[in-house]
Amino acid sequence: MFEAFLSNFKLLDPSAYVVIAVIVSILVGAVAATVSLRARYAELARELRRTHDGDFRAPVLISIVRETLDALEQGAGEINTQAIVEHNFQARLRSFMIAERFVKASTGLLIILGLVGTFYGLTLSIGRLVGLVSADTGSGADLAAGLTQGLTQALSGMSVAFTTSLFGIVSAILMTLIGVFWNVTDSRLALMVEIEAFLDNRLSRAAAPGAAGVGGPAAAGPGAVLGQFGQALTTSVSQLQASVGQFDEALQNFAGSTREFREFNLHLKDNVQRLSLCFADLSNHLNAHIAELSRRERGRS
């Protein structure tokens, strides 16, 4: 079987060798990128597990820890460690991201190249068959020789089509299996989750504004910790007193507003009573005037 497969290579033209060489190059490059990326991510994970004080050697880990400590010193509240990790991976491991995208796209690219070789071989074969049919041969010997040569060339085109397609499909199958068992994206995501856990569980809880950063002094002693605690307590008490004062001022403003509203209601009640008396007097005067007019009208009649 292997000898028959090798014998097909004799029927291939130089363009088929170029397509096969490109397919093999992409396969080798994707496998090499997969191995290299997984090894690099594993190295970063080992360094993260070995180092407990944040004193890393990898630039990406140093940058992640420094940005986290800066956010803690600025008092940013709840720190989005996931965004910090993703930003540093995109900025400092740009070549890794490009290699990872190449590995993802390699499977589809191998299939496409195999199809390109297939269509090229079929086009070549059909063109040679058309030339064979339309050829004008003279004698019977020339006709037999022309048919033999034309069929050989047509079969050569078919060999190009199926051989390049076979290389593309086999390479795509290999890359699919590699992606299932040694996925690069899974390794990167696992590393990012481990870095986020390190930041959340160790740095974010242990570090405080003014604490030692990467390459800085060791952790502060008990006296400094008590001093920081007392200062924080004093600040909290001051903030509480200010809040109580603001609340008391708001209550006074509300009481003043309520008093003014009560006085407005009293004045409004007096005004309504006065208007009621005025309308009553007006009604009495109108009734008296109407009665006087009625009496005069009866006297005339």
Residue 254, pLDDT score: 64
**What pLDDT score does 269 carry?**
65
Domain limit, last residue, from 206, 239, 273:
206
φ and ψ at residue 39, rounded to 5 degrees: -65, -40
- 32-61 mean pLDDT: 88
Within 10 Å of residue 113's Cβ, how many Cβ atoms?
Answer: 21
**Would you state the structure tokens that stand for residue 197, as one six-digit string?**
């856990």
One domain for residues 78 and 182: yes
Domain membership of residue 14 (yes or no) is yes
Instruction: Give the end of a domain, one of 180, 206, 232.
Output: 206
* Residue 215 domain flag: no
Cα distance between residue 101 and residue 40, in whole Å: 16
Domain total in the chain: 2
In this structure, the answer to whether residues 48 and 124 fall within a common structural domain is: yes
Domain range enclosing 198: 2-206
d(CA 186, CA 180): 10
């940058």: which residue's tokens?
A: 63
180-203: average pLDDT: 88
Q: Do 53 and 8 sit in the same domain of this protein?
A: yes
> Is there a single domain that holds both residue 231 and residue 121?
no
**Distance (Å, rounded) from C-alpha 189 to C-alpha 157?**
46
Kindly state whether residue 268 falls inside one of the protein's structural domains. yes
pLDDT, tens only, 225-253 = 445 555 666 676 677 677 767 767 776 77
Is position 42 within any domain? Answer: yes
- 19: which 2 tokens? 């397509």
Are residues 97 and 142 located together in one domain of the fold? Answer: yes
Tens-place pLDDT, residues 275-291: 677 767 777 777 777 77
Phi and psi angles of residue 210, each rounded to the nearest 5 degrees, phi first: 90, 0
C-alpha span between 129 and 124 (Å, rounded):
9
d(CA 80, CA 167): 46
In 3D, which of 125, 123, 171 has the Cα closest to residue 20? 171
Lowest mean pLDDT among 19-33, 216-230, 256-270: 216-230
Residue 235 sits in the same domain as residue 158: no
Query: Percent of the chain, pLDDT > 70?
Result: 62
DSSP 77-142: SS--HHHHHHHHHHHH-HHHHHHHHHHHHHHHHHHHHHHHHHHHHHHHHHHHHHHHHT----SHHH
Residues 195 and 270 in one domain: no
In a domain, 212, yes or no: no
Which has more pLDDT, 205 or 187?
Answer: 187
At 112-164, the pLDDT tens digits run: 998 988 888 778 777 766 666 565 555 545 555 555 555 566 666 677 778 88
The label of the residue with tokens 């009495």 reads 284
- Quick one: which of 158, 231, 198, 250 has its CA closest to 53? 198
Q: Is the pLDDT of residue 195 over 60?
A: yes
| Same domain, residue pair 152 and 202 | yes
Is 211 a member of any domain? no
130 lies in the same domain as 236: no
Looking at the structure, tell me whether residues 248 and 192 fall in a common domain: no
For residue 214, give Cα distances in angstroms to 62, 64, 256: 7, 10, 57
How confident is the model over 291-301, as pLDDT tens digits? Answer: 777 787 777 76
Question: At a CB cut-off of 8 Å and minimum separation 6, what does 124 contact?
Answer: 13, 156, 157, 160
100 and 201 in a single domain? The answer is yes
- Whether 98 is covered by a domain: the verdict is yes
Q: How far is CA 205 from CA 106, 126, 143, 250, in A?
A: 43, 72, 90, 37
Domain co-membership, 250 together with 287: yes
- 142 located within any domain: yes
Q: Last residue of some domain: 154, 178, 206?
A: 206
- What pTM, to 2 d.p., does this model score? 0.60
Identify the pLDDT of residue 211: 47
DSSP at 203: I
